Amino acid sequence: MSRDATDPDALDEVAARLHRAMVERTPIPPLTGGGADLDVDDAYRIQQGLVRRILAADGGRVVGYKLGLTSTPMQEMLGVDQPDYAPVLSSMVHDDGHTIALDRLIAPRVEAEIALVLDQPLRGPGVTAMQAWRAVGGAVAAIEVVDSRIADWQIGLVDTIADLASSGATVLSPRVVPIDGWDPRLVGMAISRDGVVEGTGAGAAALGNPVAAVAWLANTLAPYDVELEAGWFVMTGSLHRAFAVAPGDTVRADFDRLGPVTAHFA
């Protein structure tokens, strides 16, 4: 990158490169290589440019947000020490049992997550876990397919933030379960591929509490004047170490209280 990395035109060029990589399924080198000096704020500005391009090309709208890197196993896996986030786009969301075409992705991995659906809007700063709890209408079993437009998953925090927090696709159960009377921290989960268990976890893996993760997101978005809207959902982060999938795989995540959700890959 020949110009100052914080120059808006230079950041928009990076967003264009990521979008081409997504469309053409051709990964690019890590963004922080080649002398570029990008920080987290730059990465989120690149992410915004990538979102604009996806919406312009595919249509759709923002339907929620995802948190990434909220669990210790995922932070250790990618060598980072803090969460990230990105908007969830309607073109990437699918119903339970959907078959996902892997020829639209580069290096997909899957994660089981608890999605929380908002009945009320949330705007930071100062949102507490109690306020987030009151705003949440229910929880949904979810599978997220993460993908990286960065070659060989050689990513740092800046890379994954810019790359839409490594979003690929989201599969949601149709069942929204009210969270009154039980604690999302204690929800157990087992995820299997073709009947073989690949990982287990519990809600507490998501920043200690999925509801607190929603409060964190609302407060983190506040400086950007972004409100979490009623009707949106928040993917609260992987509960286990992600694993790769291949054509012909069927992945099923079974959650206590929330039930199962399944994705097929072809």
Domain boundaries, the chain: 62-265
**SS3 of residue 121 by DSSP:** coil
57: phi then psi, degrees, rounded to nearest 5 = -85, -40
The answer to whether 84 touches 159, Cβ cutoff 8 Å, is no
Fold of 62-265: Fumarylacetoacetate hydrolase; domain 2 (3.90.850)
- The structure's pTM equals 0.93
pLDDT for res 33 = 66
Residue ranges, the chain, pLDDT below 50: 1-4, 35
pLDDT for res 3 = 43
Q: Using one digit for the tens of pLDDT, what is the confidence trace for 41-99?
A: 999 999 999 999 999 999 999 999 999 888 777 677 767 777 899 999 999 999 999 99
pLDDT for res 7 = 87
pLDDT for res 69 = 81
pLDDT for res 24 = 97
The answer to whether 116 touches 210, Cβ cutoff 8 Å, is yes
**C-alpha torsion sign, points 41, 226, 56, 93:** positive
pLDDT for res 76 = 76
pLDDT for res 2 = 37
Residues 6+ positions from 118 with CB-CB distance below 8 Å: 135, 136, 137, 214, 228, 229, 230, 231, 232, 233, 234
pLDDT for res 1 = 39
Give Dmax (Cα) for the chain. Answer: 57
pLDDT for res 29 = 95
